[in-house]
Amino acid sequence: MNDDRVLIERIVQGDRDAFAEVVRKYQGPVIRLCYSLLHNHQEAEDLAQEVFVKAFYALERFKGSSAFYTWLYRIASNHCLDYLRKKSRHPEQSWDELLEKRGSEIEKLLSKDPAAGQSREDQELVHQVLEHVSADFRIILVLRDIQGLTYEEIAQALSCSLDAVKGRLKRARQDFRDKLRHFLALRNV
C-alpha cells in the first residue's frame, strides 16, 4: 500500500504516467465490482472508466486516512448506486413470478457442484435473482463476499460505522436466505 502513496504523490506533482499505473493496477477489481452490481460488461466498463476519471479529479482531496483502494471502492460504490437509482431498474418480473417460472432452474443451480463453472444461462439466472436483492444489500454483499474486504475496509468504503456494517450484512444475508428459503430447505432435507 506504500506503493500507492508513492504513486499518489507522483500524480499530485503532475505525473500522468503514475495515474495510468494506478488504473492498470486497479482496473480489474473496479470493473468486477461494477459488474457484480450491474451484470453487464459494457456498462461495467463505462462506469469503471467514469470512476477512475472521478478519482483523478478528487485525488487532491484524498487525505490518506484510509487505504487508497477502499477510497477508490467508495467512489465506485457510490457511482454504481447513483447509476442504479437513476436507471431505477425494476426486475422484469416479480419474485413470485420468477420462482414460478424458473424455480426448478434455481433449485438445480443450488444443487450444482460449487467448483463447477456457471454457464451463460446460469449467470443470467443469477443476475435475475440478484435483481430482487436491494442495491444497498447487494453492495455490502459484493464488498464482503466477492471483493473480500474486512469490516473495517467496508466501513471506510461505505462511509459508515462498524456496527452499521455488521447490522447491514446480517440483514442482507437474512433477506437473501429468506428469499431462497424454500430451495435451501429442500436441499437440507
In this chain, which of 60, 82, 100, 121 binds other proteins, going by CB under 8 A? 60
What's the grid cell of residue 141? 454483499
In contact, 187 and 110? CB cutoff 8 Å: yes
Closest to 128 measured CA to CA, from 155, 161, 100, 147? 100
Find the largest Cα–Cα distance for the chain: 63
CB of 1 to other proteins, least distance (A): 20
The span of 66-74, 79-87, 95-103, 108-116 binding other proteins (CB under 8 A) equals 108-116
In contact, 55 and 48? CB cutoff 8 Å: no
Q: Residue 186: which H helix or E strand, with range? A: helix 181-188
In this chain, which of 56, 66, 102, 105 binds other proteins, going by CB under 8 A? 56
In contact, 75 and 55? CB cutoff 8 Å: yes
Nearer to other proteins, 28 or 85 (CB): 28
80 belongs to the binding site for other proteins (CB under 8 A)? no
**Apex CA 157: angle with CA 159 and CA 54, to 5°?**
100
Closest to 158 measured CA to CA, from 133, 141, 173? 141
Which residues from 120-179 bind other proteins, rule CB under 8 A?
126, 129-130, 141-142, 144-146, 150-151, 166-167, 169-170, 173-174, 176-177
- φ, ψ for residue 131 (rounded to 5)? -60, -20
The span of 43-51, 63-71, 72-80, 89-97 binding other proteins (CB under 8 A) equals 43-51
Rg (CA), the chain: 19
In this chain, which of 1, 2, 24, 96 binds other proteins, going by CB under 8 A? 24
The span of 23-31, 67-75, 77-85, 92-100 binding other proteins (CB under 8 A) equals 23-31
Interface residues with other proteins (CB under 8 A) are 11-16, 19-20, 23-24, 27-28, 31-32, 35-36, 41, 44-45, 48-49, 52-53, 56-57, 59-60, 109-110, 112, 114, 117-118, 126, 129-130, 141-142, 144-146, 150-151, 166-167, 169-170, 173-174, 176-177, 180, 184, 187-188
